[in-house]
Structure 1
């Protein structure tokens, strides 16, 4: 079974690199909407992947690996999975415990957002006034007084926040990247983050999961945090204001909406487009070269037959070379190797090649495993120090072309690949017939 012959795989969505706040999102978008791009069947929808309703290589674990190793932006999915796990755990608390953290309403969120905008404008005005007065007698006579009152232009020496981050870094390096910073360190860094936003924060509270919220601020929200989310200063300040009052999941409402929008509209289509490719880059380049070589062979054969005194019917024979070469080239242009597709196989990814036998279950992927990663680790998403990186670099090109293969388990992905393969066959048949027909129409050369 295949999809429509007019099927087109998802287009690559580029990132602007800027934070997408609520004002920039289309009015039709709401959190939780499918938002499927063209070329993505319902079976491979974002919600289906997140809810663990897909098979390899389209599981949430594969999605996480793609964002980490290919897009280099896994923090959005890590935070998104943590938030859903946190919401479930919070809702399972006793009513008396949930009452300690009241819901953060939309009206409160809007008020905080407006307040953040006003503070930004005030700071911008102060900066402009400072630049105007810079170098004047007024500025020199009052510099000390202004700094004593909290001059926003005065840069304090690296102290509490930097020292606490250094402690966290040293702690993480001694116990491994997958170790959370201590609660005391997390509270210290979170307190500094609140201080940077002009707020006071009580480090100890009876609200549930306050220590966990401190760690989340340390890892995802604070400036220069290891997995800092791409948030605008307004969104960040509004979130910190909300977390100052409650640990209710609703405090993250706007931030989660921003993160989810990026995942649905950019990361998810790019992931599906990438998953369609069944071969690694050396194999695809090899397939393209093979297609060009076969086309060249068919062209040369038709030229020789046309220049000879052979009957016109012989000029149809190179059709096979044209057909195979063009079909291979079209499939390779879309990232597929026709040989691997004939077996419904795919190459193992570099990070999968050198997985230990104890890690085989990890390759299957699950929402729980990916969610645990987002909860249990606090280090940056860098992978340059992982053991597979130097080992894969040492691998020669021939071995990469013929790397290990595994069965593609996801039926919807196989259907997409079947459709692309059929499209390549039909395209090759039409183009080959045109080229062979042109040679058949040319008078014979009678040169030999």
Structure 2
């Protein structure tokens, strides 16, 4: 979560994923009588595509479970479609007269009557339900969701935070996915309404966020330390080159030219490891630098960090912004030397240590081969006998 929040800036994917897992568990624990109020969403892909292109109509018949609940009320029947409307050419439909429009609105008795537009609702930043209804309107949907369904208020808050435009943790959804999701949530609060969006979010977590996180955790030093390690690697290579050139230009025996191998070996191994984000010195001790948000460990800071951690794991917090967190300004004030030699901790995860060991061995082997080739070239060069 810290990586997604502070490094990749996409914590909303994991936050939404965790919320949905918890929501599914809580929904399944409801009594059957309550679950029946929100039937499983079974809209086909073809229907979703048709909906996304503008055919935004509710199913003409309610599901049997919902119909049983609303039996004997004004909500028992869905909208009716006349035979003339069924036969009408969709590209040559004459405009409705005001009286026809009034009759059509009256037929839709299971929807609430006139209500303010979505823009009026979104003026209140504290009323999640009204903002969610505004999100429905913004998507071009005209139906008001059933409020008797379980967790309807929570779903409204989720829409406001993760789905609606300018939401504080808005997911990266296409217009088609967003409209289809809102249409599904108009009809039901069943977890299956999020099926397609959850697939998109989980794919992003598995194929992008998690691999990037693994690569990031391999780095045992902060950026200044890695840059410093790269500088040391380049310095080692230059030292090997200089040693080989000076000995080759002299009248010393060829055996002395092997001394350049030491510089090449250290420099190339350090450079390969640094290219992977590792410092060989820290790896030799199985240490890593503390992350910037972990550095400041006084009592007040620890308590503040715990609060921030809890807010990151809370699915209903307002934002993932961290610019105002106390550690940001304090870390910026640290000079480069202190950042290079920041506090270290033991790498606790065995699997991570194993990955780092593999990279270190690869760096040593690669360095040995490259150093042997460069050293052989210097050994083969004729004597300079300049001094």
Shift in CA distance, 157/221, structure 1 to aligned 2, threshold 3 Å? closer
Which of 97, 109, 113 is equivalent to 2:34? 97
CA contact (8 A) 1:186 1:215 kept: yes
d(CA) in 2 for partners of 1:370, 1:264: 23
1:88 aligns with 2:48: no
Q: Matches of 1:261 and 1:359 in 2, distance apart? A: 35
TM superposition shift of 1:361 = 9.9
Distance 2:312 2:222 in 1: 29
In the alignment, structure 1 residue 427 sits paired with structure 2 residue 363? no
TM-score, with normalisation over the residues of structure 2? 0.78
SS at 2:342 equivalent: coil
Q: Residues of 2 paired with 1:216 and 1:117: CA distance?
A: 24
Task: Figure out how many residues of one structure are paired with residues of the other and give that number.
Answer: 329
Structure 1 spans left out of the alignment, 5+ residues: 1-63, 121-144, 150-155, 169-181
SS of the residue aligned with 2:123?
helix
| Aligned ranges 1:192-211 → 2 under 5 Å | 192-202=134-144, 205-211=147-153
Q: Per-residue displacement from partner, 1:301-345 (whole Å, max 9, x unpaired)?
A: 122222222111111122111111110011111111001111111
In the aligned structure 2, how far is the partner of 1:244 from the partner of 1:439? 76
Q: Which residue of 2 aligns with 1:24?
A: none
Structure 2 Cα separation of the partners of residues 306 and 202 of structure 1:
85
Find the aligned partners of 1:259 and 1:84 in 2 and give their Cα distance.
Answer: 12
- Highest relative contact order (Cα 8 Å, sep 6+), 1 or 2? 1
Contact 1:315 1:440 in 2 (8 A): yes
C-alpha change, 1:261 and 1:271, in structure 2 (3 Å) is: same
1:106 Cα deviation from its structure 2 partner: 4.3
Deviation at 1:113, TM superposition (A): 3.6
Secondary structure at the aligned position of 1:318 is classed as helix
Could you tell me how far 1:208 is from its partner in structure 2?
1.4
1:291-370 counterparts in 2 under 5 A?
291-357=233-299
Q: Quick one: distance in 2 between partners of 1:199 and 1:297?
A: 70
Q: Is 1:220 the counterpart of 2:157 in the alignment?
A: no
Map of 2:80 onto structure 1: none
| 1:436 CA drift (Å) | 1.1
Distance of 2:302 and 2:328 partners within structure 1: 18
For residues 213-271 of structure 1, the C-alpha deviation after alignment (integer angstroms, 9 at most, x for no partner) is: 11101101111111111112221111111111111100101111111111111111111
Contact 1:327 1:425 in 2 (8 A): yes
Q: Rate the CA distance shift 1:363–1:278 in 2: closer, same or farther, 3 A.
A: farther
Q: What is the aligned-residue RMSD (CA, Å)?
A: 2.7
CA contact 1:82–1:371 (8 Å) conserved in 2 = no
- Kindly provide the CA deviation profile for residues 91-134 of structure 1, in whole angstroms up to 9, marking residues without a partner as x: 11222221221111143x652442222449xxxxxxxxxxxxxx
Q: What residue number does 1:231 align with?
A: 173
How far apart, CA to CA, are the structure 2 residues paired with 1:388 and 1:84?
32
Q: Which has the larger radius of gyration?
A: 2
1:114 aligns with 2:56: no
Instruction: Note the residue ranges of structure 2 that are not aligned, 5 or more in a row.
Output: 57-97, 103-115
Is the counterpart of residue 286 in structure 1 residue 228 in structure 2? yes
* Match of residue 442 from structure 1: 381
Task: Report 1:117-128 matches (<5 A).
Answer: 117-119=53-55
Query: Per-residue displacement from partner, 1:53-94 (whole Å, max 9, x unpaired)?
Result: xxxxxxxxxxx2111111111111111111111111111122
1:144-194 superposed Cα distances (whole Å, 9 cap, x missing partner): x9xxx9xxxxxx999524422xxx3xxxxxxxxxxxxx5xx0011011111
Matched with 2:123 is 163
Match of 1:414 in 2: 353
Does the 8 A contact of 1:353 with 1:404 survive in 2? yes
Q: Equivalent residue of 1:163, what SS?
A: coil
Q: 2:9 maps to which residue?
A: 72
Offset of residue 357 of structure 1: 4.6
Please state how far the C-alpha of 1:198 moved relative to its aligned partner. Answer: 3.2
